[in-house]
């Protein structure tokens, strides 16, 4: 009689173990450069504290009972790592849609699913003493100006077409703000999840000498994209993680961002 009771329990335990083993460990690639509040620290090691995105990705993996191993790479190698199979996930924007080897969550119409994504705002910071109105049209004031951007920025073409002179020289977000403060560039353009994510950092560090223009250059989305190989082998796990993003995931992300941006 006892065996009759134990057998279903053993079957459930084996099923759960196989589910966890099937997912195993996901390799998540992210930039090896300091990009507060999202990715903190430079180099190959995960920093402590690690940044809002690292904490978020840990919860993303755990939502499907997966472990996560972080791989830090130069930003220009992130997508190639996904395509080449040395990473299973990384963050991408809409320019990755249709790129072979990269899979984004899709909605019922087959388009990239914005419900299972996070927002992306490309914003402009300038020196207060240069006198630009905060309500200025960003692309108009950037024409002919030397503009700092992060390495691998996918909005570089938009800025060039607007007549900006691009300067991708500084590797980290704080370095670019320092260049702007010192007058080595005329503006700094950076992609943020929420427009105000860097406001407290800038206000604390530069005491009102650097300000953000009110209007973003563009608004879009970012996705936690999977490699084609990993998606084909773990479709249910990947969809479960993406579904978590469409539910509790983005609420948790906002909480984590507040933790890093308000303290």
pLDDT tens track for 214-250: 999 999 999 999 999 999 999 999 999 999 999 999 9
Q: Provide the 8-state DSSP code for 28.
A: E
173: which 2 tokens?
Answer: 């977000």
**Same domain (yes/no): 157, 113:** no
Answer yes or no: is 249 within a domain. yes
Average pLDDT over residues 104-108: 97
**Same domain (yes/no): 126, 38:** no
Mark which of 220, 236, 254 sits at the end of a domain.
220
| Percent of the chain residues past pLDDT 70, beyond the cut | 91
**Same domain (yes/no): 86, 210:** no
Question: pTM of this prediction?
Answer: 0.88
Answer yes or no: is 16 within a domain. no
Neighbour-count burial of 131, counting CB atoms closer than 10 A to its CB (0-12 exposed, 13-18 middle, 19+ buried): exposed
Q: Considering just the CA atoms, what is the radius of gyration of the chain in Å?
A: 21
Q: How many residues does the chain have?
A: 263
Average pLDDT, the chain: 91
Enclosing domain of residue 131: 118-220
Average pLDDT over residues 243-261: 95
State the SS3 of 141-178.
Answer: HHCCCEEECCCCCCCHHHHHHCCCEEECCCCCHHHHHH
Is residue 237 classed as helix, strand or coil in its secondary structure? helix
Query: CA–CA separation, 212 vs 196, rounded Å?
Result: 9
What does the pLDDT read at residue 22?
A: 61
What does the pLDDT read at residue 9?
A: 43
Is residue 211 classed as helix, strand or coil in its secondary structure? strand
Q: Between β-strands 102-103 and 218-227, what pairing exists: parallel, antiparallel or unpaired?
A: antiparallel
> What pLDDT digit, counting tens, does each position of 144-166 carry?
999 999 988 999 999 999 999 99
Query: CA–CA separation, 30 vs 42, rounded Å?
Result: 11
**Same domain (yes/no): 169, 195:** yes
Average pLDDT over residues 112-123: 97
Average pLDDT over residues 32-47: 95
Note whether 197 and 37 are within 8 A (CB): yes
Number of domains into which the chain is organized: 2
Q: What is the CATH number of the domain that holds 144?
A: 3.40.190.10
Query: CA–CA separation, 34 vs 59, rounded Å?
Result: 21
What does the pLDDT read at residue 151?
A: 87
Q: Which residue in the block uniquely carries the two structure tokens 């939502």?
A: 63
Answer yes or no: is 246 within a domain. yes
Query: CA–CA separation, 33 vs 41, rounded Å?
Result: 6
Is residue 101 classed as helix, strand or coil in its secondary structure? coil
To the nearest 5 percent, what fractions of the chain are helix, strand and coil? Answer: 45, 20, 35
């Amino acid at each position: 009689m006892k065996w009759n009771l134990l057998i279903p329990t053993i079957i459930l335990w084996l099923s759960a173990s196989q589910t966890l083993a099937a997912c195993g460990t996901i390799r998540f690639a992210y930039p090896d450069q300091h990009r507060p509040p999202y990715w903190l620290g430079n180099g190959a090691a995960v920093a402590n504290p690690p940044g809002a995105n690292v904490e978020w990705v840990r919860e993303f993996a755990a939502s499907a009972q997966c472990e996560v191993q972080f791989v830090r790479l130069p930003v220009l190698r992130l997508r190639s790592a996904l395509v080449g199979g040395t990473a299973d996930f990384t963050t991408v924007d809409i320019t990755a849609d249709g790129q072979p080897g990269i899979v984004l969550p899709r909605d019922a119409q087959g388009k990239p699913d914005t419900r299972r994504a996070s927002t992306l705002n490309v914003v402009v910071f300038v020196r207060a003493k240069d006198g630009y109105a905060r309500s200025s049209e960003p692309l108009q004031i950037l024409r002919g100006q030397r503009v700092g951007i992060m390495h691998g920025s996918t909005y570089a073409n938009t800025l060039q077409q607007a007549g900006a002179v691009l300067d991708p020289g500084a590797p980290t977000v704080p370095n670019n703000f320092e260049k702007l403060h010192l007058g080595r560039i005329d503006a700094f353009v950076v992609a943020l999840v929420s427009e105000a994510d860097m406001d407290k950092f800038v206000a604390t560090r530069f005491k009102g000498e650097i300000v953000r223009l009110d209007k973003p250059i563009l608004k879009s989305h970012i996705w936690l994209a999977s490699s084609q190989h990993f998606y084909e082998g773990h479709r249910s796990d990947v969809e479960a993680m993406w579904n978590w993003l469409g539910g509790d995931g983005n609420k948790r992300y906002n909480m984590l961002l507040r933790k890093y941006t308000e303290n």
